[in-house]
Structure formats: C-alpha cells, structure tokens
Amino acid sequence: MYEQPVLPRLALCLLLLTACAKREPLPVLASVPAFELTSQAGVPWASRTLDGKVWVANFVFTRCPTICPTFTAKMASIQQKTPDEVRLVSFTVDPEFDTPEKLAEYATKFHATGRWTFLTGEGAALEAVVVKGMMQPMVKGDGSLMSIGHGSYFVLIDGKQQIRGFYRFNDDDSVEQVVRDARALLAGG
C-alpha cells in the first residue's frame, strides 16, 4: 500500500485550518451622522436610505485632473465585484461646480448602476458628513482647480451607519480589501 508523504498532508491541513479560521469582526471606528443631500438625479436623498445596508463611500469632484478618475474607476471595480446588496456613495467635494447634471454625466462615464449614488449639496452639509462624520479632509482652497483637496480613502459603513474600515484607494489591494470586508459585513461580521 502506498502512503502519501507527511509534509504535503501537513501543508494541506494548515491550509484548511487557515481557510476555516473565523475572522475577528471588523471594529466599529465611528458613526456617520444623518444627512440629507441631493443625488445625481436632482432629488433629495437622505442617509436613512442606507439604513440596514452595507455601503462604501468615496470623495471626488468631476473636474479633477489627478486622482479622482482613478479613485472612481476603482469604485466602479468595487461595484462589479460586490453583490447587489452593497451600496456605493460618491460625495462631491466641489459642490459649487458639481451640479446633479454634472454628477449624472460623471456617473454615466463610470457605468454607475442604480446602487451607486453621487451626492452634492450645500457645502456645510457636505462638510458635516465628510469631515466630521467620515473624518476625511475636504478643502475648498482658493477655488482654483488644483487647490481643491479631499480624502483618498474608501470608507466602509455597516447597516447601523457605523464606519467599519478605511482603505487607501491607491494601495494595490484596496479594492480586494473593501470587497472582502463588505462581504464579511453582509455575512454578519
């Protein structure tokens, strides 16, 4: 009778144990305050729409010539790789320029589906949720294009409006991390 060598069996057991190990739940880092803004469809849109939903936020502006196209393309990748239960929300940091019409054009360019919403509104209302709620910078600067600044993290939020993760958009594995953790939240983690 032929016996398999011990080392490959041991490696297989370790692989199975690792795969079956239960991950620790994601920490609760902060809570997102209630907000009411305007969607790319030009209609009022309230945060209560997201109650009970896992969602991912990012921060962009439509005339950005630097990181925003890549940041938004990665959000589009998250849209493709997550189940329909995961919502996506992009907040403009340039509300004076980013009208609902401009956001709708931008959303179309990145193939946003109905579960991905682009939001604008009064500067103070946006700052309340972006800066105070999600702890992301939002800098108007002197109004010139290159003086506008914003956070470069995806923010993962659970159905209780609690922040469960921050992911630097330009990390090589940021999309995979967001997708993995969003799936974990959907599964009760």
pTM of the model: 0.86
Q: Is the pLDDT of residue 137 over 70?
A: yes
CATH of the domain at 125: 3.40.30.10
Is 2 within a domain?
no
The more confidently predicted of residues 121 and 13 is 121
Instruction: Residue 181: give the domain boundaries.
Output: 26-186
Q: List, in sequence order, every residue forming a beta bridge with 59; answer none if it has no partner.
A: 91
Q: What is the mean pLDDT of residues 15-40?
A: 79
Is 77 within a domain?
yes
Is 6 within a domain?
no
Is 19 within a domain?
no
Is 95 within a domain?
yes
Instruction: Give the SS3 label for residue 150.
Output: strand
Which of 7-11, 75-79, 86-90, 167-171 is least confident? Answer: 7-11
Structural domain count, the chain? 1
Q: Is the pLDDT of residue 98 over 90?
A: yes
**Alpha helices of the chain — where are they, by DSSP H?**
6-20, 68-81, 100-109, 123-127, 174-186
Is 12 within a domain?
no
For 128, the token pair is: 């309340």
Is 5 within a domain?
no
